[in-house]
Every structure is written in C-alpha cells, then in structure tokens.
Structure 1
Amino acid sequence: MNEKCKLVVAMAGASGSIYAARFLRALMEMDGESWIVASPASVRVFQEEYGTSAANAEEILEFVGTLWKSKLKHRFHVRSYGDIGADIASGSNTWEGMVVVPCSMKTAASIRSGVTANLIDRAADVSLKERRRLVLVPRETPYNRIHLQTMLELHDAGAVILPASPGFYQMPKSLDDLGDFIASRIFKLLGKEVDLYPRWNPETPKSHGTNLIL
C-alpha cells in the first residue's frame, strides 16, 4: 500500500463500526495525512460493538492500531466534533476527499439540508461546495421514503452513496473480510487502489460455502 492520500474521515452514530475500523486500519499503513472526527454517538456505538472503553477518536485510533498491530505510516489530525471553527471547516484548506463511515441517517439529513451544526456536517458541506469527493456509507435497513429521498438529493448534490452492503463473491472467512470489502470500495471511490480482498475473477475456482465465522 504505497498510495499517498489526504482525507477527512468522519464517524457518525450508526451501527457498523467494523467498516470504520477496517478503513482506518488500512489507512494507517498508507503514506499521507488525514483528519478524523468522531461524533459522541459514534464513540458510544464503537464502544458497544467492539467492547472497548475507547472514549474519543484518538483512543479509537490507538485501539484499532493495537488490535491489528498496524504499522503506523499515516499521520492523523484529530478534530473535535463540536469545533465548527476547525481547519477543515474552511475550503481554504484542501483534502482529496471525505468519507463518513458509518453514516447515520441524521447526519445524512443534516448534510442534505445544509445544516452545519457540527464539524462533520460542515466538512461535508465544504467538500460538496468545493467539488471534492464525498463518500457516505449508510448502514440502515430498511430504508423509508425519507431516507431514500435524502440519499437521492445527496447524490444529485455530488455525494457518492455507498451502502454498507458487502459482497460475498470473495468468499469471506471472517467479519473482518466483510469490513475490508467496504473499506476497499471506499478507497476506490476516493481514487485509491488498495487491494483488501480478491477482485472478481470468473476463472478463479470457488469453494462451496464461505465458512464465514460468526
């Protein structure tokens, strides 16, 4: 993984912490620097889904790096969720793209409406107005009409909607494999070629069953 990148990574309060964790794990081993913002709700969900006491974005990064023994090459700038005057609240600073993973429907609705009451919403708003790639990873099911209309309007505004719906043709052996599928798709949409799972090849022999560890 020798891709360099400069991203904004945000975590909102939806289930699906595994997608953020596996994305961060891969990003840690890439050259470059990124900003990270975690909402209080995302921290609570992360604690519950990983059984950790990590209380903020900095401690989440430490937890992820320790859990998978990542080789830290990337530089992370932690920013406060409530700091709407942070550097990434202004288009005068530059980044290649932004991802909200996972993305709650509340956050999606706030971005769609242009309400920027926190740093995640504001950085996303800046990404859209500056025509930078914005990838939103919702993990909600089922979607109601409000959700669908919100995502359609975000799509029309320039965002990319990447539902946390991993494929199974790579024959996953663990939940981490499913997380890597989505993480790899995020990187690709941000213009980074990072191979975290086998690409589809119709010539590759397939086994019967995934042996997925639940």
Structure 2
Amino acid sequence: MSSADRIRLVLAMAGASGSIYAARFLKALMEIPGETWFVASPASIRVFKEEFSTNVETAAQILDFIQEKWKPKKIHTFHFRKFEDIGCDIASGSNIWDGMVVVPCSMKTIAAIRTGITENLIERAADVTLKERRRLILVPRETPYNRIHLENMLSLHDAGAVIAPASPGFYQMPNSLEDLGDFMATRIFRLLGREIDLYPRWLSDKESD
C-alpha cells in the first residue's frame, strides 16, 4: 500500500493507559486520505479524560479534542460506532477494511480476542479481522506481563495478529510525550504498509555523512 492509496481501517481504543498513543495516531490519520470506523470503550474514554485532563464523553469528542489541540488538516473520514453494538457493519466480514488497530489495548481485550469471546464491538470486530485474514494490530500498554498475558499474546501472534507493545524508542531524542506517541504511530502505520515518518529514522554514522 503506497502513501497515495486511501486506507480503510477499524480503529479501537480499549481501556488501558496510554491515550497519547491513540491520540497521536488519530492526529496523523486525520491528515491522510481514507476512512476509519472508530470505536472507543467507556473505559478508554475515562482514561483519556484523566490522562488529558479533559471532559470528553464520546469518540467524536475525542476527535474534536485532538483537532483543537494539534490543529491537523482533516481530510480523513471517520465513522463512529457504539461499543455495545455487536450487530453493526464492522461486526460482519461481508464488509471490507484493510486492517484493524486497537491502541491502546487492554489485557482484558487481548484475553477476550484470544478466547473468541465477543461481548462488545471491539472484540467482535477483532475476531472478524482475524477470521478474514486481515491485519490486526494490538498495542498493549502494560508492565510487567504475567504468564497469562504472555500466553494470550503468543496465541494471538500464532493466530495472525501483530503484537506491537507501546515501547517507544529513544534514539530520536524525544522532547515530549507527543514525540513518544509519534514513534508508535509511525510503527503502526508501517505495520499497515504505509510509510509515514513522524519521527527521525535511525541512521548510522556512515549513512548520515
């Protein structure tokens, strides 16, 4: 997928810490052509409110907050879906999307996807993404991991998901939380097949001469 292609995504926020990772991914996503079906769990909205000291109550208000805070040029189309609506369009494999990203991804969500228990739209859409052999990227933000966490993630890896822990690098000399968010956003885009550089690439001394 080239950077000129339109992208079709399902994007979900689960109730883990790390709202900055979702926020910076959303900010970058606004500036590329395509459309995204966006689902935010009630827990993720609560965490977002606490981590950004804001009063957002919905996924749409999260987008409004991001646009007001960082002023991205919005050319992307977003469709909002309710967390509890397991019968909507993205709950069916008859609809097509390029991939699904859950950022941040809670250990509860990982456990539910691993066992095939789909009690909400995030879990159902992830299950559909796997069964249709589409790219599923899960971005956990947890430490340390216990054995249950590790076994769940390994099983999902073996089932075709990509586990991309929110572990930003520091070789770009980050100056802010936004820089750390951009590192992970860039890695997620690359896993989706898109080259969008939001932070400096690593270059050896020979390459930088």
User: In 1, distance between residues paired with 2:206 and 2:13?
Assistant: 36
Q: After superposition, give the CA deviation of every residue in 1:90-128 in whole Å (9 maximum; x if it has no partner).
A: 000000000000000000000000001100000000000
Unaligned runs of 5+ in 2: none
TM-score calculated relative to the size of structure 1: 0.94
User: In 1, distance between residues paired with 2:98 and 2:193?
Assistant: 9
Alignment of 1:174-189 (within 5 A): 174-189=176-191
RMSD value, Cα: 1.3
Alignment of 1:1-214 (within 5 A): 2-203=4-205
Residues paired across the two proteins, number: 206
Counting aligned pairs with the same residue, the percent is: 69
Q: After superposition, give the CA deviation of every residue in 1:62-96 in whole Å (9 maximum; x if it has no partner).
A: 10111101111000000000000110000000000
Show structure 1 runs of 4+ deviating over 4 A: none
Distance change (3 Å), C-alpha of 1:137 and 1:176? same
- Higher RCO (CA 8 Å, separation ≥ 6 residues): 2
The amino acid that maps onto 1:200 is W
- Asked whether the equivalents of residues 33 and 76 of structure 1 are also in contact (C-alpha less than 8 Å), the reply is yes
Compute the displacement of 1:171 (Å).
1.1
Compute the displacement of 1:202 (Å).
1.0
User: In 2, distance between residues paired with 1:205 and 1:124?
Assistant: 40
TM-score calculated relative to the size of structure 2: 0.96
Unaligned runs of 5+ in 1: 207-214
